[in-house]
Amino acid sequence: MELKVGCPVILLRNLNPPKLCNGTRLLVKSLKKFIIECTILTGCGTGEDVLIPRIPLIPSDLPFQFKRLQFPVKISFAMTINKSQGQTFNVAGLDLSVECFSDGQLNVALSRVTSKQNMFVLANDKKAVNVVYKDIL
């Protein structure tokens, strides 16, 4: 991952709830060796400058354990519907060319934006296919 100043990122760990929680979007202001200085874009601390430290991460999917220091962020030009839950956006785009899993997921996606004029939807043949697996129910 190559970060640059001005790049939007998403926080992958809870650092200081409720201000710095998993899913909080940030804008990179400056990059240092052990700290990233960011501005909060979403949530209760919108507009605040924060410092994101490198934290120890221990992978659990390997047969052996090791620890490494890593920034708990990922570049975020887009996000999944599940990650957007609980957030509000001024403008949003929704790609429905890939099927939604359930009615609730589509509702969450459509309700993230402040006004319907600012929601842009991409759908094949002007139809949205909503998949519900009746076997699960």
Q: Do 92 and 120 meet the contact criterion of CB atoms below 8 Å apart?
A: yes
> What's the mean pLDDT when you consider all of the chain?
85
Quick one: residue 136, left, alpha or beta (phi over 0 = left, psi -120 to 50 = alpha)? alpha
Instruction: Say whether pLDDT at 5 is over 80.
Output: yes
Percent of the chain with pLDDT strictly greater than 90: 32
For residues 85 and 67, state if they share a domain: no
For residues 51 and 28, state if they share a domain: yes
For residues 108 and 85, state if they share a domain: yes
pLDDT class of 133 with cuts at 50, 70, 90: low
For residues 100 and 43, state if they share a domain: no
For residues 68 and 15, state if they share a domain: yes
For residues 56 and 86, state if they share a domain: no
Number of folded domains that form the chain = 2
pLDDT class of 40 with cuts at 50, 70, 90: very high
For residues 98 and 53, state if they share a domain: no
* pLDDT for the residue 48: 95
* pLDDT for the residue 51: 96
Domain containing 35 equals 8-75
For residues 93 and 67, state if they share a domain: no
Q: What are phi and psi of 91, to 5 degrees?
A: -135, 140
Chain centroid offset of residue 50 CA = 17
For residues 71 and 105, state if they share a domain: no
Question: Would residue 63 count as lying in a domain?
Answer: yes
Give the mean pLDDT of 116-125.
Answer: 85
Of 38 and 96, the structure prediction assigns the larger pLDDT to 38
